[in-house]
Amino acid sequence: MRALVFDRFGDIPMVRDVRDPAPTDHGVVVQVAATGLCRSDWHGWQGHDPGIRLPHVPGHELAGVVVAAGGTVRRWHRGDRVTVPFVCGCGSCAQCVSGNHQVCDHQTQPGFTQWGSFAEYVALDHADVNLVRIPEAIDAVAAASLGCRFVTAFRALVDQARLAPGEWLSVYGCGGVGLSAIMIARAIGARVVAVDISAERLALAQAVGAEVMVEAQRERGDASAARIPPGIDLSAIARVRDATGGGAHVSIDALGSATTCWSSVASLRKRGRHVQIGLMLADDRVAPVPMDAVIANELELYGSHGMQAHRYPELLAMIESSAIDPRKLVGKTIALDAAAAELAAMDSFTGAGITVIDRF
């Protein structure tokens, strides 16, 4: 099969022929119809994920068709249209038994712990636990865009933050996850403030439902204020708090940086809820948080790590009812041969919308 492979972290990946995968006894092989590009793939390529072993094929936001199944697989057969969470559970550990497959003790992650979907075929483990059937009304590109964008945003807002109609949500970072969160929040009936450094992304945020747009500056922190990390735009935080009448009920960091994390927490009203969605890797692994405000204002801080397969039906129902439309966030579709250049550009934060590979 053709796959995008890198042999060393940071080296430009190349498309080349590699051996076709075979299913495990409990797994399947899926022919990939579409797969999204994500900043998490960029982090993996840069060597920020300790689970990756070289050589490696990235890609974790996928949709396709089952072409082979292992001997103990019962629910899935050749020809089934499927997608999968980016965190796959084992189905038998304490976390999975409690329904929390997204934090499985023995989790696998296509594109990280094993070869991923920037290829014609991908092997997926514990198929009966992890696969999700794609409704006929949802095409492969839309299904791939759910990836770790819509599903992550859905769990963060609905299950973790308990976002309610009429509440204010502030979204720091209007990439794929942030824009997904805006669409889901509006479908719930919440009001949204979008914050980004890109006017182009803020325009898209407005188009998908954000009510207030705040363009932040890259470097606005007061170096003389020792408790404020460098790079914080205090005026942007003030605009969020003003627009929401004293602070957001819920705020998310959809980017994953020390700056956006601190700003998100600082944007909350009393008893507000912050959800950290963006990965905190490399130099951002240990980030400052305004803990004085967390204590004084009884703020709640949550992490969110994907979503379980059994929670997909509610999200898929929202799509089928047209409450949200993932296709609105697809900026462009490309061929596998163009993926290396797109991956290398992921950290420049240029452009808007989701890029999806749909030609292999």
Tens digits of residue pLDDT in 279-332: 887 788 888 899 999 999 999 999 999 899 999 999 999 999 999 999 988 989
Identify the pLDDT of residue 170: 98
Distance CA 277, CA 89 (A): 19
Identify the pLDDT of residue 2: 98
Identify the pLDDT of residue 223: 44
Q: Give domain 2-134+325-359's CATH number out of 3.90.180.10, 2.60.120.10, 3.90.1150.10, 3.30.1330.10.
A: 3.90.180.10
Comma-separated ranges of CATH 3.90.180.10 domains in the chain: 2-134+325-359
Distance CA 83, CA 143 (A): 7
Identify the pLDDT of residue 83: 97
Coil, helix or strand for 357? Answer: strand
Token readout for 197 is 């450094």
CA distances from 20 to 24, 53, 56, 114, 185 (A): 13, 18, 14, 14, 41
Angle at 112 between CA 111 and CA 116, to 5 degrees: 15
Rg of the chain over Cα atoms, rounded to whole angstroms, equals: 20
Q: In what order do the strands lie in the sheet with 212-215?
A: 212-215, 191-196, 168-172, 248-253, 268-276, 300-303
Distance CA 47, CA 28 (A): 28
CATH class in words for 149-303: alpha beta
CA distances from 251 to 19, 27, 48, 171, 284 (A): 45, 38, 26, 6, 19
Angle at 356 between CA 355 and CA 357, to 5 degrees: 130
Query: What are the tens digits of pLDDT across the range 38-81?
Result: 888 998 999 988 889 999 999 999 999 999 999 999 999 999 99
Query: In terms of Cα–Cα distance, which of 250, 259, 234 is closest to 182?
Result: 250
Q: Would you say 136 and 22 are in contact if contact means Cβ atoms under 8 Å apart?
A: no
Side chain identity, residue 125: D
Query: What are the tens digits of pLDDT across the range 220-254?
Result: 555 445 567 778 999 999 999 999 999 999 999 99
Segment 143-148 mean pLDDT = 90
Q: How would residue 351 be classed by pLDDT, with cut points 50, 70 and 90? A: low
Name the more confident of 218 and 87.
87
Three-class SS string for 266-320? HCEEEEEEEEECCCCCHHHCCCCCCHHHHHHCCCEEEECCCCCHHHHHHHHHHHH
Distance CA 260, CA 252 (A): 9
Cis amide leading into 55 (omega within 30): yes
Segment 4-10 mean pLDDT = 97
Query: What are the tens digits of pLDDT across the range 192-224?
Result: 999 999 999 999 999 999 999 999 986 555 544
Assess whether pLDDT exceeds 80 at residue 126: yes
CA distances from 335 to 36, 148, 338, 356 (A): 11, 20, 6, 9
